Structure 1
Amino acid sequence: MTNMQTSAQAASSEVLYAVEDHIATITLNAPQRMNTISGPMLNELAALLLKANQDPEVRCVILTGNGRAFCAGLDLTKERGDEGLSAASSPTTLDLRNTPPTVLQGMDKPTICAVNGGAAGYGMDTALGCDIRIMAESAKLAAAFVKRGVVPESGGTWFLPRMIGWAKASELIFTGRTLSARESLDWGLANEVVPDAELMGRARAVAREIAANAPLAVQAAKRMMRIGLNETFPDHVHHVYLQLLPLFKTQDMKEGIAAFMEKREAKFVGR
């Protein structure tokens, strides 16, 4: 299935969306300001993430950016105007249920961040919110929060201790250090680093590998990984079993077993 935006849509939208071969590609499209994110752009990104998660044709999501940056953080110039992050809220209310970090964390579809350039502040947290990070050689992760007088506001204080341990997370957050792509790989924050020109090709190759598997099983596995972060092993095993029971009844499980017995590639349909 292909659902490519028209050139007119692409020219007017700050977040692009396209679906091909069961892969949704969501692209931050404000290269003139290094893809810094305004309030309206946040809403659009969250809506498109939800759209991909709810589309039965989508089996994997790639998040990337246009231009030389993935995302240089929040758009503070717009924050001072009418399109800022607080434009739709009062000082006593802030609804975070449908913001990109929360939506990313709750998605059942696997997510790949193709980090095409600098990912700073909010951009770094957004990259960390994806399941897999593939970085271009020129890309960087900039944990510059404390250098701006703020904390990692979009999940970094939750992700980093779990991903790299307390000591390394403390070092990165407290110093506000910038890591190159290779350093990010060494620190365990990137899955792999590729030449800039090969970034999207590699991200799509990994996405195709994921999309070739039984989508309901992949999504159930991700759901169990997420739930397992906050439960005991006995409880987790029980919940895994409850997830397994409905999979036994799917057409895809029958196809997976048949393909294995017949020594052929399985053709999954998501049912």
Structure 2
Amino acid sequence: MAYETILSELKDGVLTLTLNRPEQLNAYTAQMGIDLADAFVAADEDDAVRVIVVTGAGRHFCAGADMGSGSDSFGDDGDRLFGARKAPGPKGGFVGAIFACRKPSIAAINGGAVGVGVTMTLPMDIRICSDRAKFGFVFARRGLAPEAGSAWFLPRLVGLPQALRWCYRADVFGAEEALRGGLVSEVVAPDDLLGRAQALAREIAEETSPVSIAMVRQLLWRSAGEPDLFKVLAVDGPANMAMGASADVKEGVAAFLEKRKPDFPGKVSSDMPPQYPWWD
């Protein structure tokens, strides 16, 4: 599908989405939010998509919000950055679409990722970056507060003390600090970044059950902040009993015994266990 601000390519089960405003350093606009939301919703519904990789065209991932209109860029107008929340689309805009998606996502951060350029990656599952990448939760230096749900995501990913430190400093830091702080899991050479992200994606696509991965993704995200263990047990036990009788389990066990790659027949669109979605 053609979008105004992103490129989309599906190959071997891996959907690569590329933020495509390189002359503006891929600065975020309301249209980019709409395009990302639509792409993630479409990927969620497409059984041909197993994993999503998100990267940026040119030298940067996303240099933050497009401030071409000055301070007016942040008004509550429907054409402006935060006004995009009023646009048609899923609950929570692109953040809600990424979080609700049943397909895992990998951010391949190839350069600057500042403000919304970094917070848009937090609902994604794996973040790897180039050694040239720069990050910044710079909101307090612009008179703003953390957005895109980052006050919920960031402490879960890196811990509250590290999240506070980065948001209080509101400065720009490099790839090695991001690695030490747990924001990214790998730092690689620029020329190796996209290939590494796509290799991780292909491993997931080729070796795992799509239904299992969809359950893993939602169980881990939605259970991480659940204070009651027994609420989690009430979901994962019955879900695994239902999944245990599925064709995917038969294939997974057979592939293990026969020492071959599995060919799982289950589809996310039709074969999720009856407990899903348990939070509704």
Q: Deviations over 1:12-65 (max 9, x none)?
A: 731111111111111110001111121122111110011111111111110111
Matches within 5 A, 1:17-32: 17-32=8-23
Q: Bigger shift: 246-255 or 27-36?
A: 246-255
Among 172, 194, 197, which residue is 2:188 paired with?
A: 194
Q: Report the equivalent of 1:173.
A: 167
CA distance in 1, matches of 2:39, 2:88: 21
Q: Which residues of structure 1 form unaligned runs of 5+?
A: none
Among 239, 243, 265, which residue is 2:239 paired with?
A: 243
Among 142, 154, 172, which residue is 1:148 paired with?
A: 142
Please say if 1:267 is aligned against 2:263: yes
Q: Report the equivalent of 2:123.
A: 129
| Aligned-partner SS, 1:220 | helix
| Aligned-partner SS, 2:91 | coil
- Whether the 8 Å CA contact 2:34–2:89 is kept in 1: the answer is no
Aligned length: 260
Q: Bigger shift: 71-80 or 47-56?
A: 71-80
RMSD across aligned positions (CA) = 2.3
Q: Bigger shift: 34-43 or 187-196?
A: 34-43
Q: Report the equivalent of 1:227.
A: 222
Please say if 1:253 is aligned against 2:244: no
Change (3 A) 1:74 1:214: same
How much has 1:265 moved relative to structure 2? 1.8
- Whether the 8 Å CA contact 2:109–2:128 is kept in 1: the answer is yes
Among 204, 209, 214, which residue is 2:209 paired with?
A: 214
CA distance in 1, matches of 2:251, 2:110: 37
Among 5, 11, 16, which residue is 2:7 paired with?
A: 16
| Aligned-partner SS, 1:236 | helix
CA distance in 2, matches of 1:23, 1:95: 23
CA distance in 1, matches of 2:221, 2:153: 12
CA distance in 1, matches of 2:212, 2:115: 33
CA distance in 2, matches of 1:152, 1:234: 32
Q: Which runs of 4+ in 1 moved over 4 A?
A: 78-82, 86-90, 93-96
Identity, % of aligned positions: 34
- Whether the 8 Å CA contact 2:34–2:84 is kept in 1: the answer is no
Give the AA of the match of 1:158: W
How much has 1:262 moved relative to structure 2? 1.5
Among 99, 102, 111, which residue is 1:108 paired with?
A: 102
CA distance in 1, matches of 2:84, 2:110: 31
| Aligned-partner SS, 1:263 | coil
CA distance in 1, matches of 2:61, 2:67: 17
Q: Deviations over 1:114-159 (max 9, x none)?
A: 0011000001101222110010110111111111110111122112
| Aligned-partner SS, 1:69 | coil
Matches within 5 A, 1:3-152: 13-77=4-68, 80=73, 83-85=79-81, 97-152=91-146
| Aligned-partner SS, 2:122 | helix
- Whether the 8 Å CA contact 1:46–1:98 is kept in 2: the answer is no
How much has 1:98 moved relative to structure 2? 4.4
CA distance in 2, matches of 1:86, 1:129: 18
How much has 1:95 moved relative to structure 2? 8.5
How much has 1:201 moved relative to structure 2? 0.5
Q: Bigger shift: 111-120 or 234-243?
A: 234-243
- TM-score of the superposed pair, with normalisation by structure 2: 0.86
Change (3 A) 1:230 1:113: same
Q: Deviations over 1:147-185 (max 9, x none)?
A: 111011112211222222221111110110222111100
- TM-score of the superposed pair, with normalisation by structure 1: 0.89
Q: Which residues of structure 2 form unaligned runs of 5+?
A: 268-280
Change (3 A) 1:88 1:181: closer
- Whether the 8 Å CA contact 1:22–1:59 is kept in 2: the answer is yes
| Aligned-partner SS, 2:81 | coil
CA distance in 1, matches of 2:88, 2:39: 21
